[in-house]
Structure 1
Amino acid sequence: MSNDVAYPVFRTPDPALALSTARRLVEFGRCEYSKVSVYAELPSVAEVRRMAKELPEGWFRGLDEPGEFDGVPMAELPVLVVGVQGPGLPPDPASYDRRLPVEYSLSDLPVGRIEDAFTAAIGPNTGEINWDTLRWPDVPELGFRGEHKHSEVTLLFNTHTRHLDEPSADHTVLVHVRSAVFDGRQWNEPYAHWIAEQVGLTLIGPGQRV
């Protein structure tokens, strides 16, 4: 089983500029099967409701408690635990007790379908746009074979890490390649650097794995 490693290549406090920069990388590797997904963590009822108003087609899911699913028919579980689209969110604020932060997600959409709207709606929340099933080309002069499985681009909002656990006031673009560690060295780091260079970018930090 193989894994990816993602390198930061751009950082800015301007979300629109971050998106346009990420799109340069996406277009470099885009193919007919490429997809985009979005994800955000919403820390308050107000933010959940705002996101539901702006992007109601997304799925909202709150935290569940240990053992909450045990022996309970799915139909009897709270909709916020099972997952619900915007129009089905419970109106009672008490329904969100112990459920925050609420996760928002939309997955496997055509490239270009959601990026602008999500960037406009993310506000102060942490989240990401991820483009996958791209295709990085062969670079025979550097000894790199093309990459398809781990060819991704991620735009992180209001955080520097893929775990979304370090809030920040800016946004970071990451380019993904296949992880290949030998003797403690990441051998595909030059490949990530080469990909970034093709659109005028460069690596600005160490690789991140999840």
Structure 2
Amino acid sequence: MSNSRAAAVLTTPDLAEALHAVRTLLGLADLSQAEVDFEATLRTPQALTRVLRLMPDLKWRALAGEEHGSSESGADPLVCLPVSVHDWCHPLDLAEPFIAALGRDSAGVRWDLNGWPEVPEAGLCLITQKYAYLTLSVNSRDLYQDEPAPDHTVYVHVRDVGLDLDRVEWLAARAGGRFEGKVELSPL
């Protein structure tokens, strides 16, 4: 297992602005084998119902612990609220409907990309799949929903921010943001 460093490049209370930044960054990335992963804390019956309508085979567990219910046990997730969602390897077109279904609940949506581009004029080499990720924290100021907030944060993942600072700053500029020094370790 390896880790990437997730560098915050945009924090905004405007979800449309955050999604625009994500779309811009996705437009730069190699998406040939890309997929999207979801981690969320669903607290409301409304959000859970909307997400289940979208993803009937959703993988979840009770936030109080798996012994209190999970998708594997066949329990009713509405009885187990709040629930933690960890569902992986979905097609990219599921990301925005999932985000829309959240309402005010928090989530981390991570796009697993095939690579960040080579940009010779900026001195940037190709970054391959191992360190090419993009995360949008929805209604949270961190990757893991430990800080629920009315804000949304866009992170770009790289091998090491110190070594890849030029790439972080280049991507941030394209996303309409800027790197302000917030970095989180992201186990992959």
Common fold: TM-score over 0.5? yes
**CA RMSD after TM alignment:** 2.8
1:136 to 111, 116, 134: 116
User: What's the secondary structure of 1:56's corresponding residue?
Assistant: coil
Query: What TM-score, normalized to structure 1?
Result: 0.74
Alignment-mate amino acid for residue 183 of structure 2: G
For residue 90 of structure 1, what is the aligned residue in structure 2? 76
Larger Rg: 1
Q: CA deviation at 1:56?
A: 2.7
Deviation string, structure 1 residues 36-90 (Cα, Å, up to 9, x no partner): 1222111355543443245434222224659x6xxxxxxxxx7x33537xxx652
2:144 to 163, 169, 177: 163
* C-alpha distance in structure 1 between counterparts of 2:56 and 2:150, whole Å: 26
2:85 to 83, 104, 121: 104
* C-alpha distance in structure 1 between counterparts of 2:100 and 2:115, whole Å: 27
* C-alpha distance in structure 2 between counterparts of 1:65 and 1:91, whole Å: 13
User: What's the secondary structure of 1:167's corresponding residue?
Assistant: coil
For residue 202 of structure 1, what is the aligned residue in structure 2? 178
Does the 8 Å CA contact 1:133/1:152 hold for their aligned counterparts? yes
How do residues 52-91 of structure 1 correspond to structure 2 at under 5 angstroms? 52-63=52-63, 80-81=69-70, 83=72, 89-90=75-76
* C-alpha distance in structure 2 between counterparts of 1:92 and 1:3, whole Å: 34
Alignment-mate amino acid for residue 21 of structure 1: A
Bigger shift: residues 133-142 or 168-177: 133-142
Change (3 A) 1:198 1:55: same
Q: CA deviation at 1:103?
A: 1.6
Q: CA deviation at 1:157?
A: 0.7
* C-alpha distance in structure 2 between counterparts of 1:160 and 1:42, whole Å: 16
Change (3 A) 1:91 1:137: closer
Q: CA deviation at 1:8?
A: 1.2
Count the aligned residue pairs.
Answer: 185
Does the 8 Å CA contact 2:137/2:143 hold for their aligned counterparts? yes
Q: CA deviation at 1:135?
A: 1.0
* C-alpha distance in structure 1 between counterparts of 2:83 and 2:30, whole Å: 31
* C-alpha distance in structure 1 between counterparts of 2:16 and 2:78, whole Å: 34
Does the 8 Å CA contact 2:40/2:145 hold for their aligned counterparts? no
Does the 8 Å CA contact 1:18/1:173 hold for their aligned counterparts? yes
- Any stretches of 5+ residues in structure 2 without a counterpart? none
Alignment-mate amino acid for residue 127 of structure 1: A
1:152 to 123, 133, 141: 133
Identity of aligned residues (%): 31
- Any stretches of 5+ residues in structure 1 without a counterpart? 69-77, 181-185
For residue 101 of structure 2, what is the aligned residue in structure 1? 121
